[in-house]
Amino acid sequence: MTMNKDKLRGRIESKEPPRPDQVEKIQAYLSKKYQAPVDLTWQAAPDLSQGFILTLGSEVYDWTPKGKLDQLKAQLDQVPLQEGDYLPLLKDKYSSWQPEAKASQRGVVEEVGDSLAVLSGLDHVEYGETIEFSTGTRGMVMDLQKDAVTAIIFGEDDEIYEGSLARRTGKNAGLPVGEGLKGRIINALGTPLDGGEEIIPQDYYPIEYKAPAILDRAPIHRPLHTGILAIDSMFPIGRGQRELIIGDRQTGKTAIALDTIVNQKDQDVLCIYVAIGQKASSVGRLAEELKAQGAMDYTTIVLASAGETAAMQYIAPYAGCAIGEYFMKTGRDVLIIYDDLSKHAVAYRSISLLMGRSPGREAYPGDIFYLHSRLLERSGQLSSEKGGGSMTALPIVETQSGDVSAYVPTNIISITDGQIFLESKLFFAGQRPAVNVGLSVSRVGGAAQTPAMKKASSSLRLDLAQYREMEVFTQFSSDLDADTRALLAYGASLMEILRQEEYKPRSQHKQIISLLVALNHLLTGLDREDIRPALDQVVAYFEREEGLLMEALDRGQGLDETRKAAILEKAKDFLEGLS
């Protein structure tokens, strides 16, 4: 505000000059509010047919019909929309509404470009607050300086120029959430991208929100089945866990995430897939495949494509997390996939370098670790007092030539509860999913595994480790003894049962039967190409003859020694009958 000997100076804009008594009334109101005398000048504004606009420093009082309508709109926006007749709520809000002398703070754009705007005049704006430009485009404050603030622009900046105005909204950046988001493709602001009908929101959630406190959480103990044998048996994921999927480009990272989504059908888990920096056409094909698998009904896709600005790619994972939090806090289980955080880090690096922040290791700013930790820490298992909901996060990170020691991968490995490492060598050798048993780990472990699966897979990791070690030592040997050949044949049968086609998740009973048969050496006498067909026939036999047992295994009931021996005896007899 402009001061002259402790006097505030303001300006009234209107079509006709105000009367002296009107000026005195306005001066008395402002002097009481700001505890200082106010000097007002008048400026003709022929475009204002009614009312006036009062400017006092960076604060603006809009007492025109448009300003009053904006106040009414803000009031109506607070009415929670719902399916059915909500007109009585709107009428009630309208009938009780009276315009108020509210000041809105406005700033002036000093610089604009690369989806960033530097503004002056927003003296009291907060970090993360949404601002609205005169064009209607919105942005979010990302940097606070002494005389200016920098905001990222959500959309194109073609119509924003130096001298353009922007106003505070008083709201943190967020998006509308609700049940209508299920089955939809939206952008990071909640706008539908699939051409479907308008989404009716039920609440508004900020994209940045503090993570649940320790006392609001409960231990992770319920499994989230991926349907992938290599993961469910050796690296189990619990509801509320954060498990990193990491590997080079084109090694099947997204395939694992999508198989996990498909496997949540009829499991009462809502899924959110956040696509960051991907081709919109690729995400469209992905959505069609999910629809074909019957998985789109419980899935929301948040898309910030490669063609969108770095600002939209930056807020996309936070927007997806806000949607997940809404469902989690209603007591439901959520699975969220960030594909991928490598591109998210690059988007943030671009924004930071344009804002003039000092680059650090690999040109990333020093707060890149905090960027992802405050995102992933919002996942977890809530206590029963907080509704008992959960949000499981599967972030995806791309490595270069298998280098897990790079800056962003090491950061996210240290944040998450384990990682599934996909190896290029295994992938190109046809071992898919290409899970590296040695570098993968789940720090939740058996706490999120059913007793039957825990018992069936007890020796799998050790046996595979011995096989991989023996395979390396004997790859150049031509004369092998019988024990070594038997060990290699056994290991090869284990690797074969771990092979799995995309979009074909396996049920718990199929996984358990497969492990029992393979780990008890019932498949070692078969040729490698005959292992999976024979195993499919064994499983089909048990599904046909032992339906109640299969249902019990799916429910996670224990596998005692008597039941285990009976399964092995029947499987052995069946396989002998095939030969």
Tokens of 180: 């209508």
Element (H, E) at 356: none
Tokens of 123: 């003296």
From start to end of 321-440, where are the E strands? 333-339, 380-381, 390-398, 418-422
Residue whose entry in the numeric block shows the structure tokens 């050949």: 485
SS (H, E, C) 268-319: CEEEEEEEECCCHHHHHHHHHHHHHCCCHHHEEEEEECCCCCHHHHHHHHHH
Q: Which residues contact 283 (CB under 8 A, 6 or more apart)?
A: 185, 275, 301, 303, 305
Q: How far is CA 491 from CA 47, 465, 503, 510, in A?
A: 83, 9, 25, 20
Dihedral of CA 247/252/254/257: which sign? negative
Give residue 528's identity as a one-letter amino acid code.
R
Give residue 234's identity as a one-letter amino acid code.
M
Mapped onto helix, strand or coil, the DSSP state of residue 564 is helix
Output DSSP code: residue 214. G
Tokens of 502: 């995309």
**Distance from the Cα of residue 398 to its chain's centroid:** 16
Please calculate the CA angle 525-530-531 and round it to the nearest 5 degrees: 70
| Buried/exposed code over 201-211 (b: 16+ C-beta within 10 A; e: otherwise) | bbebbbbbeeb
Please calculate the CA angle 538-461-491 and round it to the nearest 5 degrees: 60
Among the residues of 398-527, which ranges form H helices? 407-415, 424-428, 451-456, 460-474, 482-498, 508-519
Tokens of 194: 């699939």
Cβ atoms within 10 Å of 200's Cβ, excluding its own:
14
Q: Are the beta carbons of 247 and 399 closer than 8 angstroms?
A: yes
State the catalytic residues: 443
